[in-house]
Amino acid sequence: ELLESQPRNAVIIACGNQKGGVAKTETATCLAYLLRERGARVLLVDCDSQGNASIHVGLTARRIDELEETRRTLYYAMVDDKTAFTDFILPTDEPRVDLVPAFMSLAEADFELASAKGLVTIKERLAEIRDQYDYVILDTAPNLGLVTIGAFEAADLLLVPVQTEAFALLGLKRLMQTVERLQHRKNRNLRVLGLLPTLFSARNSQDQASLEELQRNYGSRFPIFPPVPRATVYGQAAAAGVFTLSVGGKIPGRDAFEDVANAVRHAKETLHATA
């Protein structure tokens, strides 16, 4: 009870890579699960108009439609500054993990941000609830549009899932340039937590080669976490609308996500020591 009443000062982690299908959403949900397993309060914010994170943690298509109709998704939190951000927050089936959902309406936000219609920023919205969570995890879209950039501007840490495949490194250079630009201008606090190789098949020589290439090109500048192997349980859990790590049995890749969770917890200690 005493703990409940203490302000929490969340660390904000964006999961980002403008390439689609690299396991950003999977990484965001697994990280949320592991952090809350260790007792933290976590808010997962779906910043992608595809709504994959919202569906992965249990919202049905029908429920998302309802939330869009009643204006309770992220887009409306950016448009409507009269409603408190807490009114957009939903519980999930996992204790201590909450969700701000997103869906198609969010696709409008990029356009409206570009035409300077004065939307409320993600950063401003998170400031309202930062003292209620230990971690906020932002699952971003496969683009570098203004909503994604807004998420990066709000973040303390950027976690970059990278698929170990032939063209994995092509977009990474651009992403890192964007991060540097943000660090110089809009968000001096932003730090790259590390790169997480994903969808790795140890027996595939191309996957091996791209993992080595990742190490060679980025290993001296950023931490590179152990690779998350391909396993069918991920797709099955996503389709069933449950957290993958809540499924029973040994989940391949859990140890890699544990390493990420440890790094996040360590970063939180460091951030708060210097704050």
* Shortest distance in whole angstroms from residue 216 CB to ligand ADP: 23
Of the pair 23, 102, the CB lying nearest ligand ADP is at 23
Residues 48 to 107 in contact with Mg ion, rule: CB under 5 A = 52
Would you say how long the chain is, in residues? 275
Rounded CA gap, 152 and 140, in Å?
Answer: 9
In the three-class reduction of DSSP (H, G, I as helix; E, B as strand; rest coil), residue 228 is classed as coil
Q: Which residues bind ligand ADP (CB under 6 A)?
A: 20-26, 52, 142, 198-199, 228, 230-231, 234-235, 238, 253
∠ CA 83-87-93, nearest 5°, is 165
∠ CA 187-192-238, nearest 5°, is 110
Of the pair 52, 148, the CB lying nearest Mg ion is at 52
Q: Which does 20 bind (CB under 5 to 8 A by kind): Mg ion, ligand ADP, none?
A: ligand ADP
Q: In the complex, which residue's CB is closest to Mg ion?
A: 25
Of the pair 24, 41, the CB lying nearest Mg ion is at 24
Query: CB within 8 A of 217, min separation 6: which ones?
Result: 169, 172
Q: Which does 21 bind (CB under 5 to 8 A by kind): ligand ADP, Mg ion, none?
A: ligand ADP
β-strand pairing of 42-47 with 90-91? unpaired
Gyration radius of the chain's alpha carbons = 18
β-strand pairing of 97-100 with 90-91? antiparallel
Q: Which does 36 bind (CB under 5 to 8 A by kind): ligand ADP, Mg ion, none?
A: none
Residues 14 to 43 in contact with Mg ion, rule: CB under 5 A = 24-25
* Neighbouring-strand partners of residue 12: 136
Q: Considering CB under 5 A, how many residues would be counted as binding Mg ion?
A: 3
* Shortest distance in whole angstroms from residue 234 CB to ligand ADP: 4
Of the pair 27, 132, the CB lying nearest ligand ADP is at 27
* Shortest distance in whole angstroms from residue 176 CB to Mg ion: 20
Of the pair 223, 241, the CB lying nearest ligand ADP is at 241
Count CA atoms closer than 13 A to 224's CA, side-chain side. Answer: 18
Query: CB within 8 A of 181, min separation 6: which ones?
Result: none
Of the pair 119, 261, the CB lying nearest ligand ADP is at 261
Contact 37, 163 (CB under 8 A): no
Residue 42: other Cβ atoms inside 10 A = 24
Q: Which does 23 bind (CB under 5 to 8 A by kind): ligand ADP, Mg ion, none?
A: ligand ADP
* Shortest distance in whole angstroms from residue 163 CB to ligand ADP: 8
